[in-house]
Amino acid sequence: MSETLALSRIPLDEYAELLGAGEIEELRALAKPLRGRSIEMINSTAVGGGVAEILNRLVPLGEELELNIKWDVMMGGEDFFEVTKSFHNALHGAPYHASPKDFEIFLAYNERNRATLPFDAEFVVIHDPQPAGLIQTRQPGANHWVWRCHIDLSRPNRAVWDFLEKFVSRYDGAMFSSPEFSRQLPIPQYLFYPAIDPLSEKNCALEPQFISQVLGRYQIDPQRAILTQISRFDRLKDPVGVIRAYRIVKRYFDCQLVLAGGSASDDPEGAVVLKEVLREADSDPDIKVLELPAWAPLEVNALQRASTVVVQKSLREGFGLTVSEALWKKKPVVASAVGGIPIQIIHKHTGLLAHSIEGTAYQIRFLLSHPEIAAKLGEQGHQHVKENFLITQKLKRYLTLFLTLAKNP
């Protein structure tokens, strides 16, 4: 790697205890023809964000399978990251007027990194738009280049996408988190789900005593139903809508609501939303609005595990991995049918989908009335995550992609 990073190493055999030895044997069998072959992952940040989190787990697992895998981080200045943040939001559909200067900054940093990064691997995986222009380095037929897009491109800003598409079309393939997020492109497009790590602090098994301690710390009563939404204080996550749904449920069930998200202290928009949430909560002692420290994975884990029903009432969503986190913990989930959520929540099979505040409240009431159905949905949700949204499945998808690309020189 171009930076010294402490990779998170968990041996594959530890996953075997959760998933079965056959699943790990399968990974080893798929990796066998790829042993010693080189793979270069490139993204734009070494820490923070979902991509870095996934690469931090994926690269050591690839090394254990004897792949010659490395992770390089492209370098950029403040001006570059300001531009790419604007691009990111614009690709998600936010209004944005790109100036020629923005495109020049993007190209200049890509050009600079072309001179410093190696690009000598057989398979080069570029993550997200920031390093997409590095494809210009590629010599025809020299190696395989694929682009992994973690963004919902269903409604992109036209100017930004037209600019990026010129680069994306030169890759051997592109990977998207949902068919809805993809574009009409002249290259093959593949479905690559995001993934959670079942052994990470956010998802590992916890001692009941620790869960009790966390509930005690926040004065949450374990004897009464707990509804929880874990997400940052963002209008698109509709925390106010969750409170309104809770109030409808409360007419029928004695329950508590936990809204837990990262601290809003360094996020001006988050602070405004937090105020709106507190106003809506109106000092209801059964509504717990928790500003967790920036990274409190064990607490999030405990709150999810203690929940009776987990809610994700987003108005717009990327993939929404908090849903998979809850399902992994066998929790019944009520969530909005937006973004990648319907991929995780197969309605009436792995959870319940809703389209409104009233619908969300109704589905929660249904689950509270039918704990046996709630338990079954939670169990099937867990199986769904096990089959599709774990880091080991993601690794398997990458191995399959590399084997497929290798067949097409």
Partner 1 sequence: MKAAEAPFEFVTVSYLTRIGNQSAGALAELLTGLEHCSDASIFHHTFQTLGSHHFLTEGFSNDFAQWALSDTNRNDLAEQLAALDIRDYVSIAALRSDLCRVVGDYCAAYPHFANQSALKRFYFCESVEVTAPLGRNAQTLDEFREGIEHLSHSGFYFHFISSRLRLQLQTNDFSHWLADGLGLKSLAESVNQIDIYTNTLDSTRAKLLRLIDRERRKA
As given in the structure block, the two tokens for residue 335 are 């969530």
Distance CA 301, CA 303 (A): 6
Handedness of CA 77, 80, 82, 85 (dihedral sign): negative
Distance CA 147, CA 90 (A): 19
At 308, which amino acid appears? T
Q: Which is nearer to partner 1, 369 or 400 (CB)?
A: 400
Taking CB under 8 A as the rule, does residue 9 contact partner 1? no
Taking CB under 8 A as the rule, does residue 384 contact partner 1? yes
Handedness of CA 390, 396, 399, 405 (dihedral sign): negative
Q: Which is nearer to partner 1, 133 or 194 (CB)?
A: 194
The full length of the chain comes to 409
Q: Identify which range of 36-44, 124-132, 228-236, 396-404 contacts partner 1 by CB under 8 A.
A: 396-404
Taking CB under 8 A as the rule, does residue 356 contact partner 1? no
Number of residues that bind partner 1 (CB under 8 A): 38
Choose, by CB under 8 A, the member of 110, 130, 182, 203 that binds partner 1. 182
Q: Identify which range of 202-210, 262-270, 324-332, 401-409 contacts partner 1 by CB under 8 A.
A: 401-409
Taking CB under 8 A as the rule, does residue 315 contact partner 1? no
Q: Which is nearer to partner 1, 217 or 347 (CB)?
A: 347
| Cβ atoms of 368 and 226 closer than 8 Å | no
Q: Identify which range of 6-14, 24-32, 243-251, 263-271 contacts partner 1 by CB under 8 A.
A: 24-32
Task: Give me Rg for the CA atoms of the chain.
Answer: 22
119-178: which residues touch partner 1 (CB under 8 A)? 176
At 185, which amino acid appears? L
Choose, by CB under 8 A, the member of 1, 10, 107, 346 that binds partner 1. 346
Give the start-end residues of each E strand in 131-282. 144-148, 173-176, 189-191, 225-230, 255-262
Taking CB under 8 A as the rule, does residue 16 contact partner 1? no
Choose, by CB under 8 A, the member of 2, 23, 244, 284 that binds partner 1. 23
Taking CB under 8 A as the rule, does residue 247 contact partner 1? no
Taking CB under 8 A as the rule, does residue 344 contact partner 1? no
As given in the structure block, the two tokens for residue 367 are 């689950």
| Cβ atoms of 312 and 125 closer than 8 Å | no
Taking CB under 8 A as the rule, does residue 191 contact partner 1? yes
Q: How far is the CB of 46 from partner 1 (least distance, A)?
A: 28
Taking CB under 8 A as the rule, does residue 42 contact partner 1? no
Q: How far is the CB of 337 from partner 1 (least distance, A)?
A: 7
| Cβ atoms of 307 and 332 closer than 8 Å | no
| Cβ atoms of 360 and 388 closer than 8 Å | no
Q: How far is the CB of 40 from partner 1 (least distance, A)?
A: 20
Distance CA 13, CA 8 (A): 15
DSSP string spanning 257-278? EEEEEE--TT-HHHHHHHHHHH
Positions touching partner 1 (CB under 8 A) are: 20-23, 25-26, 29-30, 32-33, 176, 179-180, 182, 184, 188-191, 337, 342, 346-350, 380, 383-384, 387-388, 396-397, 399-401, 403-404
